[in-house]
Amino acid sequence: MERRQFLLSATGWGATKLIGMGGMVAVARAASGTANVDFDPAFQSWTLQNDVFRAVLRLNQSTGQLQLEELRDLSNNDFWRLPSLAGSFPIDVELDDGTRLSVESRFLLTGQSTTAIDRNGRALTLELSEEGSPLKLTVEFQIFPGQPVLRHQVTITNRLGVTVNVRKANFLAWQFADEGQKFTAYAVHQWVLVPREANFDPVETPLVAGAPAWSVTTGSGGAYCAWLAVRDSQQRGLFAGLEFNGRADFSVRQANGRITLGAEVKSLYHPLRPGEAMVLPAAMIGLFRGDWDEAGYRTQRYVEAAVAAVVPDNNFPYVAWDSWGYLEEINEDVLRRNARIAANLGMELFIVDLGWANALGDWTPDPDKFPNGFRALSDFVHDLGMKFGLHFAFSEADPDSPVLQSNPDWTSSETYNFHGGLSLCLGHQPCRDWIIEQGVNLVRNYRVDWILQDGQTLVKQCTKTTHTHHPENSNWANSEQGLDVIVSEIRRRTGVLWENCANGGSMMTYKMARNYVTSITNDASGSLGSRQGAYGATFPFPPRFSDRYMPDQDLNVYTTRSFMFGGPWIFMNRLPELTPADLALALREIGIYKSIRTNVRDGRVSHLTARPALGQVDALQSYTASGDTALAVVTREEARSNSYTLRFRDLTPTRSYLVRFETSPARFILTGAQLMNVGVVVPLPDQQSAEIVYVEPAP
């Protein structure tokens, strides 16, 4: 069959079906809202376009190479194109016999389809084969209305009658011309304790042409969030993100007139039996112009529009209480007393942390602590009008737990010492299936609305030869075939909401964002640490993915407002021990949080100062375009001055705004130009103090 003759399959609503005979094929258009896919048979090219973005793919008829010809921002006409004398292809996959699928591969198009997908998106699916290769490729590209982002995901299928082994998988291998520009790269750490502490601190580094790639490790136990941004000296930028919870080397390099991205799965040895398919992790690449806040904003809006688990309701993010202020010394009486006070304060979620079960891995409520049964406590919490949450460290088990007594081989070869437990290998299928049933039963038996997942490094290292995964493939098996299956299957069968915690925010990926409604940042690190976590995490992730645990500490305005900007605000105070003044303060501050939370959740985040640090003032702003309003949380951390001149962003220069404060009685009428260029003085009278500043159109 000649390349210009093909049969296109149609699947799903709105799919386009074409039959090519001798090149006599009409241009096809498949539309869904403002996300469209056009095919031009004369050039063997596809244009994916929405109202702000265009991506052009082409199957080069002389070389057989599938290439990303262009990405273009239609709002400002910035574009990224193929490097000179080089191609651009989404993946680079290699088998143990040296067979490779990469930018150099020569493909035959065997099928294509366009379909409408969830969230008003549009998908283009191409089926490709290479002569002599044992693998078939199915490549899906997605775009969504209003988003300057192209998402891709590749499936490779073994067409041979024998098993082949995938040894390398780079699932984000695009290349672009550097246009002779100098580039700077930007990334954000996760919550890391070893080999050195990191708390979502951003890192900016210039790329040196010809130098080795700048590479960061992402995924569970990695050092960085699964996000990178680069921009040139003209403020033209790219951002990219990975939907993979395992560890990956995420890189960018400038050399030979090219900007080259990479995302390689670490420690991969994946057997593909005859007819089996391997779905590589999805990845995204998007465009921005401006500073790193703009890169973050474009990323966040795309994640909310196309990737993240849907916000459960308009009261989200919730105000919550968690029992860890008592450590494991909890019982029915303690929890009931706290629940009554939590409900009176207006809290919406009540979480029972570690210590409720007989032991790790023995997910049966301790009968001595809960003599009336655990369901009675859940019903009590629900009757108070709150959701019921439960700590579930499903990847760990006590050595004496029944599951390990019956199945001692289910442990991973490396254990991570989580509260004295042994680590389970989630990539071992019998263990994974047991955990799923345990989780489903917990949710159903005890009316659980919310799971606080926990554990020390959720994607385990395991080299056992007795498990269902290959001993050199545990990174892939424990993430793609273990953790992700557990969470998504329990969600599917119960509808329970998941909060990501991996002994802190150490698995900040876009696969996480798909399965979880929020994520912890740092692990109960106090007021300054909380603000540092939210500051960094709100570059790559929407604010709701930075929930904050407030330790059992003295309550004052500085403390409470240090936990207000971001996702769920989780108290860990021993509520019966609070004074009447403390309770009145908590009630008032919770009301303030509820009044601003959706604005923060849905607004445009600007980092108005440097990262929070001792001796400084820090400020985060959220701007809501629909109402042309802004708010900023401003905090003094032992800075010398008792005031700070705050300059807002994003306002309309010629418009007059009313400026008011949460604590100070002062009021001002200022223009947008004045607020952005001159600023407004924020009183911060104490060494540790905080203020919320509101800007709204003047009457």
Q: Please report, in angstroms and rounded to a whole number, the separation of the first and last CA atoms in the chain.
A: 70
State the Cα–Cα distance between residues 125 and 118, nearest whole angstrom.
Answer: 15
Among the listed residues 130, 149, 129, 132, the one whose alpha carbon sits nearest the alpha carbon of residue 141:
149
> Measured between alpha carbons, how far is 107 from 256 in angstroms, rounded to an integer?
25
**pLDDT beyond 70 at 8:** no
pLDDT for 260-307, tens place per residue? 999 999 999 999 999 999 999 999 999 999 999 999 999 999 999 999
**pLDDT band at 502; cut points 50, 70, 90:** confident
Q: How many residues does the chain have?
A: 699
Give the Cα-Cα-Cα angle 352, 323, 329 (nearest 5 degrees).
100
User: Which H or E element spans position 39?
Assistant: strand 35-40
* 3-state secondary structure string across 552-583: CCCCCHHHHHCCCCCCCEEECCCHHHCCHHHH
Domains, in order of start, for the chain = 28-307 (2.70.98.60), 319-602 (3.20.20.70), 605-697 (2.60.40.1180)
Helix (H, G, I), strand (E, B) or coil at 285: strand
Q: How confident is the model at residue 28 (pLDDT cuts 50, 70, 90)?
A: very low
Going 595 to 596 to 599 to 600, the CA torsion angle's sign is: negative
Residue 19 has pLDDT above 90, yes or no: no
Dump pLDDT digits (tens) for 295-336: 999 999 999 999 999 999 999 999 999 999 999 999 999 999
- Cβ-in-10-Å burial (0-12, 13-18, 19+) of 50 comes to buried
Q: pLDDT value at position 29?
A: 35
Query: For 266, phi and psi rounded to 5 degrees?
Result: -80, 145
Is residue 31's pLDDT more than 70?
A: no
DSSP 423: E
Here the tokens at position 557 are 């305005």
Residue 369 pLDDT exceeds 50: yes
Lowest-pLDDT range, 28-32, 197-201, 425-429, 668-672? 28-32
Q: How confident is the model at residue 85 (pLDDT cuts 50, 70, 90)?
A: confident
Provide the whole-model pTM.
0.94
| DSSP secondary structure string for all residues of 137-177 | EEEEEEE-TT--EEEEEEEEEE-SSS-EEEEEEES---EEE
What pLDDT band is residue 653 in, cutting at 50, 70 and 90? very high
Q: What is the mean pLDDT of the chain?
A: 94
Q: Tell me, what's the pLDDT at 5?
A: 28
Of residues 7, 10, 37, 2, the one with CA closest to residue 19? 7
Per residue in 219-274, pLDDT (tens digit) is 999 999 999 999 999 999 999 999 999 999 999 999 999 999 999 999 999 999 99
What average pLDDT does this structure show over 528-543? 97
| Structure token digits, residue 51 | 């109202």
pLDDT band at 25 (very low <50, low <70, confident <90, very high): very low
For residue 43, what are its two tokens? 């050039």
Residue with tokens 């500085």: 558
676-699: pLDDT as tens digits? 999 999 999 999 999 999 999 999
Residue 164 pLDDT class (50, 70, 90 cuts): very high
Question: Which residues does 153 contact at the CB level (< 8 Å), separation at least 6?
Answer: 139, 140, 279, 280, 281, 282, 283
pLDDT digits (tens, 9 = 90+) for 411-426: 999 999 899 999 999 9
Cβ atoms of 361 and 404 within 8 Å: the answer is yes
Q: What percent of the chain has pLDDT over 90?
A: 91
Give the pLDDT confidence score for residue 11 in this predicted structure.
31
* Rounded Cα–Cα distance for residues 495 and 468 (Å): 28
What does the block give as tokens for 427?
A: 């990539």
pLDDT tens-place string over residues 557-614: 999 999 999 999 999 999 999 999 999 999 999 999 999 999 999 999 999 999 999 9
How do residues 586-601 score in pLDDT, each as one tens digit?
Answer: 999 999 999 999 999 9
Q: What is the pLDDT of residue 33?
A: 52
Of 214, 220, 215, 226, residue with least CA distance to 192: 220
Cβ atoms of 578 and 586 within 8 Å: the answer is yes
